[in-house]
Amino acid sequence: MSELTLTVMRLGFLAVLWLFVIVAVQVIRSDLFGTRVTQRGSRREAARPQQAARQQAAPPQQRAQQGGGGRRGRNAPTKLVVSEGTLTGTTVALQGQTITLGRAHDSTIVLDDDYASSRHARIYPDRDGQWIVEDLGSTNGTYLDRSRLTTPTPIPLGAPIRIGKTVIELRK
Protein backbone atom coordinates (compact mmCIF):
# COMPACT_ATOMS: atom_id res chain seq x y z
CA MET A 1 0.00 0.00 0.00
CA SER A 2 1.48 3.34 -0.98
CA GLU A 3 2.39 5.91 1.64
CA LEU A 4 0.03 8.42 0.06
CA THR A 5 -3.01 6.16 0.25
CA LEU A 6 -2.33 5.37 3.88
CA THR A 7 -1.91 9.03 4.77
CA VAL A 8 -5.15 9.89 3.03
CA MET A 9 -6.92 7.07 4.86
CA ARG A 10 -5.43 8.13 8.20
CA LEU A 11 -6.58 11.72 7.83
CA GLY A 12 -9.85 10.61 6.31
CA PHE A 13 -10.57 8.39 9.30
CA LEU A 14 -9.90 11.20 11.77
CA ALA A 15 -12.15 13.48 9.74
CA VAL A 16 -14.96 10.91 9.77
CA LEU A 17 -14.54 10.35 13.51
CA TRP A 18 -14.79 14.06 14.20
CA LEU A 19 -17.70 14.37 11.79
CA PHE A 20 -19.54 11.82 13.92
CA VAL A 21 -18.83 13.79 17.08
CA ILE A 22 -20.02 17.00 15.43
CA VAL A 23 -23.20 15.36 14.15
CA ALA A 24 -23.87 14.00 17.63
CA VAL A 25 -23.42 17.45 19.13
CA GLN A 26 -25.77 18.86 16.48
CA VAL A 27 -28.41 16.36 17.60
CA ILE A 28 -27.97 17.53 21.19
CA ARG A 29 -28.20 21.13 20.02
CA SER A 30 -31.50 20.53 18.27
CA ASP A 31 -32.64 18.69 21.37
CA LEU A 32 -31.85 21.68 23.56
CA PHE A 33 -33.14 24.54 21.45
CA GLY A 34 -35.29 23.11 18.72
CA THR A 35 -37.80 20.74 20.15
CA ARG A 36 -39.83 22.56 22.72
CA VAL A 37 -41.17 25.35 20.59
CA THR A 38 -41.52 23.61 17.24
CA GLN A 39 -42.80 20.49 18.86
CA ARG A 40 -45.50 22.22 20.81
CA GLY A 41 -46.63 24.01 17.67
CA SER A 42 -46.53 21.01 15.43
CA ARG A 43 -48.35 18.79 17.87
CA ARG A 44 -51.10 21.31 18.21
CA GLU A 45 -51.35 21.41 14.42
CA ALA A 46 -51.53 17.65 14.35
CA ALA A 47 -54.14 17.59 17.07
CA ARG A 48 -56.39 20.08 15.35
CA PRO A 49 -57.93 17.86 12.67
CA GLN A 50 -58.76 15.32 15.36
CA GLN A 51 -60.30 17.97 17.55
CA ALA A 52 -62.25 19.29 14.61
CA ALA A 53 -63.55 15.83 13.81
CA ARG A 54 -64.53 15.36 17.40
CA GLN A 55 -66.32 18.68 17.44
CA GLN A 56 -68.34 17.62 14.43
CA ALA A 57 -69.47 14.55 16.27
CA ALA A 58 -70.17 16.31 19.55
CA PRO A 59 -73.80 16.71 20.59
CA PRO A 60 -75.31 20.18 20.25
CA GLN A 61 -75.29 21.09 23.94
CA GLN A 62 -71.57 20.41 24.16
CA ARG A 63 -71.00 22.66 21.24
CA ALA A 64 -72.88 25.38 23.06
CA GLN A 65 -70.44 25.04 25.92
CA GLN A 66 -67.58 25.39 23.51
CA GLY A 67 -69.03 28.62 22.26
CA GLY A 68 -68.88 29.91 25.80
CA GLY A 69 -65.29 28.84 26.08
CA GLY A 70 -64.36 30.49 22.85
CA ARG A 71 -65.34 33.89 24.17
CA ARG A 72 -62.27 34.26 26.33
CA GLY A 73 -60.87 37.74 26.21
CA ARG A 74 -57.48 38.97 25.26
CA ASN A 75 -56.34 38.70 28.85
CA ALA A 76 -56.60 34.93 28.88
CA PRO A 77 -53.44 33.35 30.29
CA THR A 78 -51.60 30.97 27.97
CA LYS A 79 -49.10 29.43 30.32
CA LEU A 80 -48.44 28.51 33.90
CA VAL A 81 -45.00 29.44 35.17
CA VAL A 82 -43.26 28.21 38.30
CA SER A 83 -41.52 31.31 39.67
CA GLU A 84 -40.09 30.02 42.96
CA GLY A 85 -39.06 26.69 44.41
CA THR A 86 -37.08 23.76 43.08
CA LEU A 87 -39.01 23.69 39.80
CA THR A 88 -38.36 27.36 39.02
CA GLY A 89 -38.59 28.07 35.32
CA THR A 90 -40.91 25.20 34.49
CA THR A 91 -43.73 26.26 32.22
CA VAL A 92 -46.84 24.37 31.27
CA ALA A 93 -48.93 25.51 28.33
CA LEU A 94 -52.56 26.03 29.26
CA GLN A 95 -54.65 24.24 26.69
CA GLY A 96 -57.85 23.67 28.55
CA GLN A 97 -56.60 20.69 30.50
CA THR A 98 -56.77 20.28 34.26
CA ILE A 99 -53.38 20.72 35.91
CA THR A 100 -52.81 18.82 39.09
CA LEU A 101 -50.13 19.75 41.60
CA GLY A 102 -48.76 17.52 44.32
CA ARG A 103 -46.13 15.05 45.30
CA ALA A 104 -47.90 12.13 43.59
CA HIS A 105 -45.95 10.89 40.57
CA ASP A 106 -48.89 11.23 38.24
CA SER A 107 -49.41 14.91 38.96
CA THR A 108 -48.95 17.30 36.06
CA ILE A 109 -46.45 19.23 38.15
CA VAL A 110 -44.73 16.91 40.59
CA LEU A 111 -43.79 19.03 43.60
CA ASP A 112 -40.63 17.97 45.38
CA ASP A 113 -41.51 19.75 48.59
CA ASP A 114 -41.97 18.55 52.16
CA TYR A 115 -44.84 20.97 52.67
CA ALA A 116 -46.88 19.71 49.74
CA SER A 117 -49.45 16.94 49.98
CA SER A 118 -49.47 14.17 47.43
CA ARG A 119 -52.60 15.60 45.80
CA HIS A 120 -52.34 19.19 46.81
CA ALA A 121 -54.26 21.38 44.42
CA ARG A 122 -55.57 21.59 40.90
CA ILE A 123 -55.99 24.32 38.36
CA TYR A 124 -58.70 24.04 35.76
CA PRO A 125 -60.74 26.25 33.45
CA ASP A 126 -64.41 26.80 34.20
CA ARG A 127 -67.03 27.10 31.51
CA ASP A 128 -66.19 30.71 30.75
CA GLY A 129 -62.52 29.90 30.31
CA GLN A 130 -61.64 31.49 33.61
CA TRP A 131 -58.87 29.53 35.33
CA ILE A 132 -59.73 28.32 38.80
CA VAL A 133 -57.45 27.04 41.56
CA GLU A 134 -58.84 24.58 44.05
CA ASP A 135 -57.19 23.19 47.15
CA LEU A 136 -57.72 19.42 47.32
CA GLY A 137 -57.77 19.17 51.10
CA SER A 138 -54.02 19.62 51.52
CA THR A 139 -52.41 19.63 54.95
CA ASN A 140 -50.54 22.88 54.70
CA GLY A 141 -52.89 24.74 52.42
CA THR A 142 -52.70 26.61 49.14
CA TYR A 143 -52.31 30.39 49.20
CA LEU A 144 -53.45 32.85 46.55
CA ASP A 145 -51.57 36.06 47.25
CA ARG A 146 -51.73 36.09 51.06
CA SER A 147 -55.01 34.32 51.71
CA ARG A 148 -55.47 30.63 52.25
CA LEU A 149 -57.91 29.04 49.83
CA THR A 150 -61.08 27.52 51.18
CA THR A 151 -63.16 27.40 48.00
CA PRO A 152 -62.27 27.16 44.33
CA THR A 153 -61.12 30.65 43.41
CA PRO A 154 -60.56 32.35 40.04
CA ILE A 155 -56.92 33.18 39.42
CA PRO A 156 -56.09 36.75 38.40
CA LEU A 157 -53.30 37.06 35.82
CA GLY A 158 -49.92 37.13 37.55
CA ALA A 159 -51.21 36.45 41.05
CA PRO A 160 -48.82 34.20 42.98
CA ILE A 161 -50.17 30.82 44.08
CA ARG A 162 -48.03 29.47 46.89
CA ILE A 163 -47.75 25.78 47.77
CA GLY A 164 -45.06 25.14 50.35
CA LYS A 165 -41.89 26.64 48.90
CA THR A 166 -43.22 26.65 45.36
CA VAL A 167 -44.83 29.69 43.79
CA ILE A 168 -46.63 29.50 40.48
CA GLU A 169 -48.45 32.09 38.46
CA LEU A 170 -50.42 32.34 35.24
CA ARG A 171 -49.02 34.49 32.49
CA LYS A 172 -50.07 35.52 29.06
Residue ranges that bind other proteins, judged by CB under 8 A = 1, 5-7, 9-14, 16-18, 20-21, 23-25, 27-28, 31, 35-36, 39-40, 43-44, 47-48, 51, 54-55, 58, 62, 65-66, 68-70, 72, 76, 78-79, 90-100, 105-106, 108, 110, 112, 114, 122, 124-127, 129, 134, 152
CB 159 to other proteins: min, Å: 19
CB 160 to other proteins: min, Å: 20
99: how many CB neighbours lie within 10 A of its CB? 18
CB 15 to other proteins: min, Å: 9
Q: In the complex with other proteins, which residue's Cβ is closer, 113 or 163?
A: 113
Q: In the complex with other proteins, which residue's Cβ is closer, 124 or 143?
A: 124
Q: In the complex with other proteins, which residue's Cβ is closer, 60 or 70?
A: 70
Calculate Rg over the CA atoms of the chain: 24
Q: In the complex with other proteins, which residue's Cβ is closer, 90 or 140?
A: 90
Residues in the chain: 172
